[in-house]
A and B are shown apart, each in its own frame.
Chain A
Amino acid sequence: MRLGVAYDVLRWEERDLFSEARKLGYDVRPLYIKDYADLVGNSIGENLDAVIQRGVSHSRALISTTLLESQGLRVFNDSLTLVRCENKAITLSLLVKSGVNIPRTAIAFSKEKALEIARKLGYPVVIKPIEGSWGRMVAKAVDDDSLYSLMEYQDYTTSQFRTAYVIQEFVRKPDRDIRIFVIGDEAPVGIYRVNKANWKTNTALGAKAEPLKIDPELRELAMKVKDVIGGFFLGIDVFEDPDRGYVVNEVNGVPEYKNTVRVNNFNVSGFLLKKLAEVIKK
């Protein structure tokens, strides 16, 4: 297989993909998207069977994917899947329409309406950017006053969505959340992300990864999310709600998996590369 790996920052995951692909005898080409430029619709000189998108900048990842697609290449994940993942309003609206449980989420376009709806949800509430990651600017508001201040801070960001306030119920999850990976038509591996000190359980913020045993209910949920969001390689974040059980918080289209490999001793890159070969043949 002739495989391109589109990336901008070379992390552990990208290096691992290169070395695992070589082990499998694939012809792997690094595509450094930061310095990439080409005509839309130009046929890329290289005859690639597939490209894995690994861009850490969401805008570069999305736009380089569309560019590669315009050249007739198959990119994993494809551009529309990336859009469905990157924008939390789109992700959550698609999930809820398909009957997947999500945290109760409101979107308001004025601070007055946001305060009104936050009171209905009941404090504390969580406010977060529509697009964002690694827990950046995800904040807990305990009352009108703190929510108002957090919205003012959001107003002065440069996000194109800064006038849309996403307000969520604060889910009383245990001191952890769940990250489950979908690769092709399977959900082979996952982790708990445990943090006793911080309610934000991103590993980027110090949560500890622990191996997760994927029960049939979680597996079914993961496959359902994949049916809704599409794509080939997804990292799905799930909360355990004391009353409702599993609720899906978000879906990541370019998931990191270094800790998952380490604590589960599971070769994510190898699994993904073999699955990709199956998909390409179809």
Chain B
Amino acid sequence: MVLLKCPVCGGDVQVDDNALPGEVIEHECGALLEVYMKDGKLALRVAEQIGEDWGE
């Protein structure tokens, strides 16, 4: 597990070492977070909203 900070509430978020970018995590504060890679390390940012061009 990697310990990261929620970019919305600043609280702790435990992320699996094997997490992949694009994984969406719901934090206990209600924020939807997205895992991505920053400088070769796992990081969190606010997940993207559903876009007009999203779908099948």
Q: A35-B36, A35-B37 are in contact. Are A8 and B52 (CB under 8 A)?
A: no
B contact residues around A157 at 8 Å (CB) = 52
Q: B36, A34: Cβ atoms under 8 Å?
A: yes
- The docked-state distance in angstroms from the alpha carbon of A232 to that of B22 is 24
Residue tally, chain B, CB below 8 Å to A: 14
- The docked-state distance in angstroms from the alpha carbon of A9 to that of B21 is 8
A contact residues around B56 at 8 Å (CB) = 133-134, 235, 252-256
Q: A133-B56, A235-B56, A255-B56 are in contact. Are A35 and B51 (CB under 8 A)?
A: no
Q: A34-B36, A35-B36, A35-B37 are in contact. Are A10 and B24 (CB under 8 A)?
A: yes
B17 touches A (CB below 8 Å): no
Among residues 18 to 33 in chain B, which have CB atoms less than 8 Å away from a CB atom of chain A? Answer: 20-24
- The docked-state distance in angstroms from the alpha carbon of A34 to that of B22 is 8
Q: A159, B22: Cβ atoms under 8 Å?
A: no
B10 touches A (CB below 8 Å): no
A7 touches B (CB below 8 Å): yes
Q: B22, A131: Cβ atoms under 8 Å?
A: no
Residue tally, chain A, CB below 8 Å to B: 27
Main secondary structure of the interface of B (DSSP, over half): loop
Give the total number of A-B pairs whose CB atoms are below 8 A apart: 56
Interface centre among B20, B54, B55 (most CB of A within 10 A): B55
Q: A57, B54: Cβ atoms under 8 Å?
A: yes
Q: A8, B55: Cβ atoms under 8 Å?
A: no
Q: A131, B53: Cβ atoms under 8 Å?
A: yes
Q: A58, B22: Cβ atoms under 8 Å?
A: no
- The docked-state distance in angstroms from the alpha carbon of A133 to that of B50 is 11
Q: A59, B55: Cβ atoms under 8 Å?
A: no
A contact residues around B52 at 8 Å (CB) = 132, 136, 157-159
A contact residues around B21 at 8 Å (CB) = 10, 30, 32, 34-35
Among residues 48 to 65 in chain A, which have CB atoms less than 8 Å away from a CB atom of chain B? Answer: 56-59
Chain B residues within 8 Å of A, Cβ to Cβ: 20-24, 36-37, 48, 51-56
The 23 listed contacts between A and B (C-beta, < 8 Å) are: A8-B22, A9-B22, A9-B48, A10-B22, A10-B24, A14-B22, A30-B22, A32-B21, A32-B22, A34-B22, A58-B54, A58-B55, A132-B52, A133-B56, A134-B54, A136-B52, A159-B52, A235-B56, A252-B55, A252-B56, A253-B56, A254-B56, A255-B56
